[in-house]
Structure 1
Amino acid sequence: MNIEAHLEKIARLESLRERFDPLEDYELWFWAGMTAGTHAVNAALHHAGVTASADEYAAQPGVYLVARPDGALKATFRPLGDVLHVGRPVIEAQVPADVASMMHSMEVVEQYRDPCVREGVTPTAAIVEECEAALRTCIRLLNERMKGMQHAQ
């Protein structure tokens, strides 16, 4: 995707998250936050010139959906554009320190994906606070990188 599309998705996901109770609606709240953070990392990677910003949509590592002239999307092998999750795929290039910090923040969030969403661990207020703080750090770092071009803090 391109940077502007990532920024728009972050804003919509952040607005959506505000409607959820983090404990009662944990799975939806969590997925919306994790997805927003991944969009933030991708926007920062594009902004830093580490990955390509393009009107393509990651389907699997190395496979992107690319619009054909008739508007249909076609799965196509492409060089690294968007990551699906931090570490998937691994980025071989040098990553700026602020973006590396964003990626670390998302690792903090993603450590709760399997236990709390897939394995039945009941999320706690402490888990919610840790995820929220990590996501806020990720978004703050994106805002600093984008110099205010981003949505709300």
Structure 2
Amino acid sequence: MNVNSHLEKIARLESLRARFDALEDFELWFWAGMTGGTHAVNAALHHAGITAADDVYAAQPGVYLVPQPDGTLRHAFRPLGDVLHVGRPAVKAPVPEDIASMMHLMESVEQYRDPCVRHGVVPTAAIVKECDTAVLECFRLLNQRLRSAS
């Protein structure tokens, strides 16, 4: 994807996330935030020229769905474009400090994915606050990066 596509998805996900009660609808709220934060990391990586900003869609690490002239999508191996989750796949190139911070913030969010979404750990107000703070800081860092380039 490209930077503008990521920004559009972030806006839609944040609009959706705002409609959920973070504790009662934790799984949906969490996925919207985690996905939005991952889009922010991808946008920052593209903006920095570290990853390819092609209009293809990550399916698995190294495998992308590539639009075809007839409107279908075809699987293809491609150089690193969008990461699915921070660290999957790993970014081998050096990243600027702000993007490294964004990645660290998203790792702090993702530490709750398996316990709270897959293994039945009941989310707490503290977990919600930690995740929300991390996602919002990730967005702030992306916006700061984009503003400084204009």
Q: Which runs of 4+ in 1 moved over 3 A?
A: none
Partner of 1:78: 78
Q: Distance in 2 between matches of 1:18 and 1:148?
A: 27
Query: Is there any run of 5+ residues in structure 1 with no aligned partner, and where?
Result: none
Query: Is there any run of 5+ residues in structure 2 with no aligned partner, and where?
Result: none
What TM-score does the superposition give when structure 2 sets the normalisation length? 0.98
Partner of 2:46: 46
Structure 2 counterpart SS, 1:115 = helix
- CA RMSD, 1 decimal: 1.0
One-letter code of the match for 2:135? L
Partner of 2:131: 131
Partner of 2:97: 97
Q: Distance in 1 between matches of 2:146 and 2:25?
A: 31
What's the CA shift for 1:47?
0.1
Partner of 2:113: 113
Partner of 2:143: 143
What TM-score does the superposition give when structure 1 sets the normalisation length? 0.96
Q: Distance in 1 between matches of 2:92 and 2:18?
A: 35
C-alpha offsets along residues 107-135 of structure 1, whole Å, 9 cap, x if unaligned?
A: 01000000000000000000000000000
What's the CA shift for 1:148?
7.9
How many pairs does the alignment contain? 149
Q: Distance in 2 between matches of 1:24 and 1:148?
A: 38
Q: Distance in 1 between matches of 2:96 and 2:51?
A: 12
Q: Distance in 2 between matches of 1:34 and 1:148?
A: 25
What's the CA shift for 1:18?
0.5
Q: Distance in 2 between matches of 1:135 and 1:4?
A: 19
Partner of 1:14: 14
Q: Distance in 2 between matches of 1:148 and 1:132?
A: 24
Partner of 2:5: 5
Percent identity, aligned pairs only, is 74
